A and B are shown apart, each in its own frame.
Chain A
C-alpha cells in the first residue's frame, strides 16, 4: 500500500527584542549565568509580569506576514506544570484566544506551489536553562543540575501550521521559507543552534488518497534543517513499517537521536500533562484594535515577494535572479549594499549567483562570514567593467579576496594583474609571437581564420592573461593581414 505522510509543524521563535517579555531584563544569548534576571523572571514572591509592547508589535508583524487575521482582543493564559527551569510553576502563554489565527504561507515543493495553512500564532515566554553536571549533560544520572535564568522570560512566539505538509523535504522548505521571512521581519536571529528557532513536528501517515488522519506522534526539538528532514523521514519510515506489519501507531512523543539516526519513543509519563490552563489574572487582555494593526502594517519591512518584484521592475532583473537574490535576507541586503558601489544590477546579480554563491556552496560557508564585503565586490566588478582587469583575472582575484579579505585593488596591484591595453606594448608582443610561428602564419594566410585564436592564446600566455582581448585581436589581425 502507498502511504502519504501528513506533517504539521510547531515552531518556536525567540524574539530579538531589547528586553524580556514580562520584565526589563536584557535579551541576549549566553553570557555569565544569572546576570540578566530579576524578581519577575526568577518568580520572587509578589513580583508581577508586565507585557512587552515591542514583543507584541513583533508578534503582529509575524501574524500579518503569515496572512493571519488578528482578532481585536486576545488574552494570556497560565500553563501550569512543575519544572526547575520554570520559576513560576506556570508559563504565561496563550490558549483559546491567540493573537493571530488562520493564515498561510506558500512554498514551492517539487515545482509545485503548496499552501501551508497557519492555524495560530501566539505569544509566550521562554524557560530558564537547566545544565546537568556529569553524565554527558543529560538529566538521567547527572550529579547535580544548575539553572541559568538569563533566558527565563525571553519573548517566544509559537507558530502552529495545519497538517498541510506531505514530505520531509516540504517541511524543510517550509521552515527555510519561514526563517527567511522572519529575518526580513527583523524579529529574531533565527539561530537554530543557539535555539532562537526551534521546531517540533506532528507526524502521521495514511493510505494515499485517504481523507482521514492517522494517529500522530510528536517529534521533538529538531535543532537543524538537516535533522528536521532526517528525523521526519525516519519517523515516517517507522510508522509505515509498523502499519505494514499490522501494528498500530501509538500517540506519543518520539525523540530523534542524531548520532544513531534512530527515533525512540519517550516514556509516556514524561508528557502526560494536564496543564490546567486558565486566564492569567495578572495581565490585562491584549487589545489589538484596527488602529494598532494598521500601524504595524504600515511599518512592515519589505517582504521577499515585494522585494523580488521591485528587482524585476526597477533593475530589470530576470524573475529567476530576483527570486534567488531574495531567497535570503542576507543575500538580498548584500546585493543592495553592493549596488551602491557598482550599479549594473544584472551583472552584479550574475556574479552573486555564479561566483559568490558558488564559492559559498563549495566551501559550505555562510554569507555573514564571507570575507568579501559588498563594497569590495562592487570594487572588483567596477575594475572588470572598466577594463582594468579581464573577466578571467577577475575570477582569480575574487578567489583570492575570499581567502584573504584583501581588496581587489590591492591584489591586482601587488600581483601586477592590471590588464594591458597599451597598443604599442601588445603590438610588440604580437610581433614576437608571429615571428616565432611561421607555420601558423602560413595557415592563417591560406584562409584558416580559426588560427587567430592560437595567436591570441600565445599573447595571453606571454602576458599571463593580462592582455586586453579586444586590443590583442585587433593588433594581431592588423599584423597578419597587413
Chain B
C-alpha cells in the first residue's frame, strides 16, 4: 500500500486484504484508530469506554499469530454499541442504572465477531436503553455528529455511527429496534444494515423491544456490511427466535443494476420529508435507474399507522424488559433506609432511568393495563399484521423497496428534545421495516447543505444477499465519496 494512505479511509474489506498480504499490520491499523479516538473523541463523544491497552495487545497478538490461524476478520478495529454485554468490560446501555455493571458473559454477536478475530476498541454511546433517535438520551452526555459538532449523530446507535464517520473505528456494531442502525448511519453518512429479524442472535443484546430488536453492522461500505454480517448470522441455541440464515452471506461485487426492479414507497416520500432530503434522494434514484434499475412506484397503504403501532408495541415490551432493573441483584440501588421494598423500587427506578425511558415504560404499562389491552396492544398487533401484508403485496411487483432513510438531515442538539413526538417522527421511514421484521439498509445518497442524506433499501425476509448486491450497485452508481472533516483532517 501507499505509505501515506490515510488508514482512517480504509474499508474493512481493503484493510483485511492489506493485512493478509502483509502490507499492513493489525497493530498499525488499531493504533491509527486509537490515536484518532484520542485526538477527537473528547469532541465527538462516540465512546463511553475505550479499552486502548486491551485493543493494542490483541492487535499485536494477531500480528504474531493469527495470520497463520486464518481468523477471517483478524485485527479489524471495531466499535461495539454499549447495549451488547461484554464480559469484563463495563456495559451501561448509557444508563445510570447500569453505570458500574460488569457483565458475567459476552453477547453471542460480539463473541462470534471476536472469534472471527475483530479487535474491540471500546463501547459506544447510545440513547439510554436504545430509546431515542439522537443519542441525546444518554445518561453520560450526547454524542456529536462528526460532520457538524453542533448536530446530533442520530440514534440510538449514534455512538457507533459517529465512531465510523469520525474515523474512530474501522466499523461498528449497532442495534436497530425502529431504525437505530439505519437512521444514525444516514445522518452520519455511513452504511447501516438491519438484518432480517432472527438472522442474528439477540443473546446478550440488552432487550428494548424483543420482537423488533436486531443487531447489525455500521460500516463505510456495503461490502463491509456484508463482510460483518457473514460472521454475525446464525442460529444460536441460546436465542430461540434466531434461525439459520437460508443463504450463506456473500460479499457483493457486481456493480450494475440491470434487471433489478425497485419500487419507491409512495407513503414514505411525501409529506414530512424535507425538500433537501427529497432532492438528494430523487437524484440518487435517478442514478440507480441510469445504472439499469427499473424504477416504479410502490405502496404500503398502512405505513401511516406503523409509527403509532410501534409506539404501543415497543414500549409494551420494554415495560416488561426493563422490569429487571429493580435494584435487587445488580446495577443501581438507591441509597438510604427504605421503609419497604416498594419504596426501594420507586427510588431506584426514578433515580436510575432517564425521562425518555420512564416515558416509554409508562406508555407500555398503560397500553397493557387491564381494560386498555385490546384498544391499544390488540389493535397495534393488528396493524402490525396489516403492515406485514402490505410488504408482501408490494414485493409481488418489485424486488426491493426504496425510500429516504430519515425525513431530515442531522438536526441541532436540543432541537427536538422538548418535543418527543417530533423526535419519534425521525423514524417514520424505518419503523415499518421493523414491524415486518425485514432487512433494510441505509446507504449514503449524497449531501444536502453539506449534511449526509441516507437512502433506504428494503428487501423481503432473508433476502440479504440480494439487498446487499443491489445496495452495492447503488453505492457505485451514486458514487458518494465524501468523508467527515475529522477524517479529512487526517489526510496529510
Q: Which residues of A contact B (CB under 8 A)?
A: 39, 42-51, 78, 80, 82-84, 87-90, 147, 274, 276-278, 281-284
Could you tell me if B316 and A278 are in contact, using CB atoms closer than 8 angstroms?
yes
Which B residues are CB-close (under 8 A) to A283? 240-241
Take A80-B368, A274-B369, A281-B317 as given contacts and tell me if A39 and B323 are in contact as well, using a CB distance cutoff of 8 Å: no
> Ordered nearest first, which 10 A-B pairs have the shortest CB separation?
A89-B323, A276-B368, A281-B211, A281-B210, A46-B204, A45-B206, A43-B324, A274-B370, A46-B85, A46-B206
Which B residues are CB-close (under 8 A) to A44? 85, 103-105, 329-330
Cα separation A454 to B326 with both chains bound (whole Å) = 85
Cα separation A462 to B186 with both chains bound (whole Å) = 109
Could you tell me if B323 and A82 are in contact, using CB atoms closer than 8 angstroms?
yes
Q: Is B365 an interface residue (CB 8 A)?
A: yes
Nearest B residue to A39 via CB reads B105
Could you tell me if A48 and B238 are in contact, using CB atoms closer than 8 angstroms?
yes
Residues of chain B in range 203-239 having any CB-CB distance to chain A below 8 Å:
203-207, 209-211, 237-239
Which B residues are CB-close (under 8 A) to A49? 240
Given A45-B325, A278-B377, A282-B241, 7 extra CB contacts under 8 A: A46-B205, A50-B239, A82-B342, A87-B324, A276-B368, A278-B316, A281-B317
Interface string of B84-114 (1 = CB under 8 A from A): 1100000101000010010111010000000
Closest-CB distance, B236 to chain A (whole angstroms):
9
Q: Is B58 an interface residue (CB 8 A)?
A: no
Which B residues are CB-close (under 8 A) to A88? 320, 323-324
Cα separation A7 to B80 with both chains bound (whole Å) = 57
Closest-CB distance, B102 to chain A (whole angstroms):
11
Take A274-B369, A284-B240, A284-B241 as given contacts and tell me if A46 and B203 are in contact as well, using a CB distance cutoff of 8 Å: yes
Cα separation A39 to B204 with both chains bound (whole Å) = 10
Which B residues are CB-close (under 8 A) to A90? 320, 323
Could you tell me if A50 and B107 are in contact, using CB atoms closer than 8 angstroms?
no
Cα separation A237 to B330 with both chains bound (whole Å) = 48
Take A39-B104, A44-B103 as given contacts and tell me if A89 and B324 are in contact as well, using a CB distance cutoff of 8 Å: yes
Q: Is B341 an interface residue (CB 8 A)?
A: yes
Which A residues are CB-close (under 8 A) to B205? 46
Cα separation A89 to B331 with both chains bound (whole Å) = 15
Which A residues are CB-close (under 8 A) to B319? 80, 276
Which A residues are CB-close (under 8 A) to B325? 45
Residues of chain B in range 352-385 having any CB-CB distance to chain A below 8 Å:
365, 368-370, 373, 377
Nearest A residue to B105 via CB reads A39
Q: B345 contacts which of A42, A51, A82 (Cβ < 8 Å)? A: A82
Which A residues are CB-close (under 8 A) to B203? 46-48
- Please list 12 pairs of residues, one from A and one from B, whose beta carbons are closer than 8 Å in the complex, sorted by A's number: A43-B329, A44-B330, A45-B91, A46-B85, A48-B239, A87-B324, A89-B320, A89-B326, A147-B329, A276-B368, A276-B373, A281-B210
Cα separation A83 to B85 with both chains bound (whole Å) = 25
Could you tell me if A50 and B328 are in contact, using CB atoms closer than 8 angstroms?
no
Cα separation A87 to B187 with both chains bound (whole Å) = 38
Could you tell me if A46 and B107 are in contact, using CB atoms closer than 8 angstroms?
yes
Q: A282 contacts which of B105, B240, B326, B341 (Cβ < 8 Å)? A: B240
Cα separation A90 to B323 with both chains bound (whole Å) = 7
Closest-CB distance, A222 to chain B (whole angstroms):
26
Take A43-B324, A46-B206 as given contacts and tell me if A276 and B369 are in contact as well, using a CB distance cutoff of 8 Å: yes
Which B residues are CB-close (under 8 A) to A51? 240
Cα separation A48 to B85 with both chains bound (whole Å) = 13
Closest-CB distance, B324 to chain A (whole angstroms):
4
Q: Is B67 an interface residue (CB 8 A)?
A: no
Which A residues are CB-close (under 8 A) to B322? 89
Closest-CB distance, A91 to chain B (whole angstroms):
11
Q: Which residues of B contact A (CB under 8 A)?
A: 84-85, 91, 93, 98, 101, 103-105, 107, 202-207, 209-211, 237-241, 316-317, 319-320, 322-326, 328-330, 341-342, 345, 365, 368-370, 373, 377
Cα separation A283 to B240 with both chains bound (whole Å) = 6
Which B residues are CB-close (under 8 A) to A87? 324, 328-329
Could you tell me if B98 and A45 are in contact, using CB atoms closer than 8 angstroms?
yes
Take A46-B85, A46-B204 as given contacts and tell me if A282 and B316 are in contact as well, using a CB distance cutoff of 8 Å: no
Which B residues are CB-close (under 8 A) to A281? 209-211, 241, 317
Cα separation A277 to B316 with both chains bound (whole Å) = 10
- Residue in B203, B323, B365, B369 with the greatest tally of chain A CB atoms within 10 Å: B323
Nearest A residue to B328 via CB reads A84
Cα separation A118 to B373 with both chains bound (whole Å) = 28
Take A80-B323, A278-B368 as given contacts and tell me if A45 and B101 are in contact as well, using a CB distance cutoff of 8 Å: yes
Take A46-B85, A46-B206 as given contacts and tell me if A276 and B237 are in contact as well, using a CB distance cutoff of 8 Å: no
Nearest B residue to A80 via CB reads B320
Which B residues are CB-close (under 8 A) to A278? 316-317, 320, 368, 373, 377
Take A39-B104, A276-B365 as given contacts and tell me if A46 and B84 are in contact as well, using a CB distance cutoff of 8 Å: yes
Which B residues are CB-close (under 8 A) to A82? 323, 326, 342, 345
Which A residues are CB-close (under 8 A) to B204? 46-47
Cα separation A147 to B341 with both chains bound (whole Å) = 13
Cα separation A83 to B344 with both chains bound (whole Å) = 11
Nearest A residue to B107 via CB reads A46
Nearest A residue to B331 via CB reads A45
Cα separation A309 to B324 with both chains bound (whole Å) = 52
Q: A147 contacts which of B323, B324, B328 (Cβ < 8 Å)? A: B328
Closest-CB distance, A15 to chain B (whole angstroms):
19
Cα separation A43 to B93 with both chains bound (whole Å) = 16
Take A42-B329, A282-B240, A284-B240 as given contacts and tell me if A78 and B320 are in contact as well, using a CB distance cutoff of 8 Å: yes
Nearest A residue to B210 via CB reads A281
Closest-CB distance, B330 to chain A (whole angstroms):
7
Cα separation A274 to B365 with both chains bound (whole Å) = 10
Take A87-B329, A278-B377 as given contacts and tell me if A48 and B324 are in contact as well, using a CB distance cutoff of 8 Å: no
Could you tell me if A50 and B377 are in contact, using CB atoms closer than 8 angstroms?
no
Cα separation A90 to B103 with both chains bound (whole Å) = 21
Cα separation A286 to B211 with both chains bound (whole Å) = 17
Cα separation A43 to B206 with both chains bound (whole Å) = 11
Which A residues are CB-close (under 8 A) to B202? 46, 48
Which A residues are CB-close (under 8 A) to B329? 42-44, 87, 147
Closest-CB distance, A52 to chain B (whole angstroms):
11
Closest-CB distance, A152 to chain B (whole angstroms):
11
Cα separation A278 to B91 with both chains bound (whole Å) = 28
Which B residues are CB-close (under 8 A) to A282? 207, 210, 240-241
Closest-CB distance, B91 to chain A (whole angstroms):
7
Take A42-B329, A45-B103, A276-B370 as given contacts and tell me if A50 and B324 are in contact as well, using a CB distance cutoff of 8 Å: no
Could you tell me if B369 and A50 are in contact, using CB atoms closer than 8 angstroms?
no
Could you tell me if B365 and A50 are in contact, using CB atoms closer than 8 angstroms?
no
Which B residues are CB-close (under 8 A) to A284? 240-241
Cα separation A42 to B329 with both chains bound (whole Å) = 8
Could you tell me if B207 and A46 are in contact, using CB atoms closer than 8 angstroms?
yes
Nearest B residue to A49 via CB reads B240
- Residue in B104, B205, B320, B326 with the greatest tally of chain A CB atoms within 10 Å: B320
Which A residues are CB-close (under 8 A) to B341? 83-84
Nearest B residue to A147 via CB reads B328
Which A residues are CB-close (under 8 A) to B369? 274, 276
Which B residues are CB-close (under 8 A) to A84? 326, 328, 341
Closest-CB distance, B82 to chain A (whole angstroms):
11
Closest-CB distance, A41 to chain B (whole angstroms):
11
Which A residues are CB-close (under 8 A) to B368? 80, 276-278
Cα separation A208 to B180 with both chains bound (whole Å) = 64
Which B residues are CB-close (under 8 A) to A45? 85, 91, 93, 98, 101, 103, 206-207, 324-325
- Residue in A45, A83, A90 with the greatest tally of chain B CB atoms within 10 Å: A45
Cα separation A43 to B323 with both chains bound (whole Å) = 10
Which B residues are CB-close (under 8 A) to A47? 105, 203-204
Cα separation A276 to B107 with both chains bound (whole Å) = 29
Cα separation A154 to B271 with both chains bound (whole Å) = 53
